[in-house]
Every structure is written in C-alpha cells, then in structure tokens.
Amino acid sequence: MRITTWNVNSIKQRVGHLLGFLDEAKPDVVCLQELKCQDDAFPRAEIEAAGYAVEAHGQKAYNGVALLVRAPFTLSDVRRGLPGDPEDEQARYIEGLVTGEDVAPVRVASIYLPNGNPVASPKYPYKLAFLERLRRHARGLMEAETALVLAGDYNVIPDPEDAADPSAWASDALFLPQSRAAFRTLLAEGLTDALRACDPRDGIYTFWDYQAGAWPRNFGIRIDHLLLSPQGADRLVSASVQKHLRGLDKPSDHVPVTVELANG
C-alpha cells in the first residue's frame, strides 16, 4: 500500500499537477492539505474519473484537507476535525479507515498543522495547542492497535539537518524550540518518522519557498511528515520524496512524500 501526503497549495490551481501525479505514481491513498476551497468547489469529478474515491473537509479560501483512496481499497469511518476544541472551526484534519482484500486495515489522517507565525500573535499558542490535541488524539487512536499513519504538513522543522540554513529559521514558529519539543513529545507517544527511518541523510527537503530563489538554490526545509504507529512502522517498506514535482510550471511550494507499507 502506497500512501502519499501533499500540500497542494490550492487544489483548483494544482489539479492538473495532481492528476498527473496520480497517473504517474498511482498511490493507493493520498492525503492532501491546503485545498483553499469549500467542499462543493473541490474537483471531485476529475479525481473520481482517475479512479479515486474522495472525502474532503474544506474551508473557503483557507486550509482544507482531503483523503483520496484508489480502488480496490475502500475508505470508511471518516472523521472530520481534530477533537479537543469544539470551538475550532478551521478545516485542518480528516481521518478514515482504509481497507482492502488481503490487506490489514490502516487508519490514515491528513493533517494541516497551523503555521504559527507571527509568533507574538494568537497563532502561535494555537499551533502548540493543536499539537497537544494531536498528541492526545494519537494516543487514543493507537489504543486500537490498528496501523496508523498521521500524514501531512506539520509546519515543524524537526532538526537542524532538516533545513538548508537552520539559522534562517531560528526565530520562526516552524523551528522554535517549543515547536520542536512539541513534535518530539508527539513522537514519544510511540510514533516513527517514516522518512527518517528509511533515510537519515541531511539535505532532504519537502518545501521550497517561492521567494529569494529558494528552489534553484535548494534552500529547502523538511516539514511534511508521515508518522507511523508501531503497527504501521512494522509494515514500513520504503519512504521517498517526489522532489521533481517542484520543478513543474506553477508548482506547489511543497512536494509529495510517499511511504510504502507491506500488506500486513
């Protein structure tokens, strides 16, 4: 089973790129973030025509997450919104159970974690609170002992080797000590960073800003992650970054990250 996460930075602008990727890579599950549209504006027909079932949790002009599942896999028990704050109306979380014949079930979540900037605003406490809610929810999900994949744009640079120039991010919400500590606390629940488990090298990035020639200079950061429960980590075969998609015309500033899990 191949599971991909991708912040498309506007599904309407990037639907052509997405359809090309679906045809090229044929992932079984795709976790999308930053749709920037409401559910009725999501290009469902085009994606269904490519062979994927769609479950979306959208929001006008901002945020938005979705799960795409390729037949013969099926998606059930879909839940929208991260528990823990009934007043949080931002569309940043969707999860569901992926099943298929002769394949052990996998619960998959698509997550668009808050950016948190500017740090001196309410956006940063919201980011840290979201991470804590995610930690608590992950603990509850893992009690079922079903393979779990928490995939998405975490807006956290875990370690200095995950940035081309760590000093450039020293005061940014993505790299502040509190953000990195909260991410480590999430991992401490028993989750595995799939990409790092497969490839510990420096210089692996998933995001390049549109400004200051970041892409040509490879001035990137790694902020898109797939975190696996112990049952998921036991099935981990490979993890990879589809970096070439950043070179497309009018690309997203993020690229897909994909893991392959054994059938279990």
Burial class (CB in 10 A: 0-12, 13-18, 19+), 174: buried
Would the annotation count 7 as a binding residue? yes
- Non-local (6+) Cβ contacts of 212 within 8 A are 219
The domain tally of the chain equals 1
Would the annotation count 34 as a binding residue? yes
Q: What's the pTM? A: 0.98
pLDDT band, very low/low/confident/very high, at 131 (cuts 50, 70, 90): very high
Q: 3-state DSSP call for residue 126?
A: helix
Range of the domain at 108: 2-261
Side-chain-side CA neighbours of residue 7 (13 Å):
27
Q: How many other CB atoms sit within 10 Å of the CB of residue 48?
A: 12
Contact in structure between 135 and 186 (CB atoms under 8 Å): yes
pLDDT band, very low/low/confident/very high, at 264 (cuts 50, 70, 90): confident
Locate the DSSP E strands across 154-223: 192-193
Residues with a catalytic annotation lie at 112, 153, 254
Mean pLDDT value of segment 60-77: 97
What is the C-alpha to C-alpha distance for residues 174 and 101, in angstroms, rounded to an integer? 40
Would the annotation count 162 as a binding residue? no
In DSSP terms, 95 is beta-bridged to 79, 109
Side-chain-side CA neighbours of residue 216 (13 Å):
3
pLDDT of 167 higher than 90: yes
Would the annotation count 253 as a binding residue? yes
Contact in structure between 189 and 139 (CB atoms under 8 Å): yes
What is the C-alpha to C-alpha distance for residues 62 and 9, in angstroms, rounded to an integer? 10
Helix axes 177-187, 123-142, angle to 10 degrees: 10
In DSSP terms, 55 is beta-bridged to 67
DSSP 254: B
Mean pLDDT value of segment 64-91: 97
Q: What CATH number does the domain containing 35 carry?
A: 3.60.10.10
pLDDT of 8 higher than 90: yes
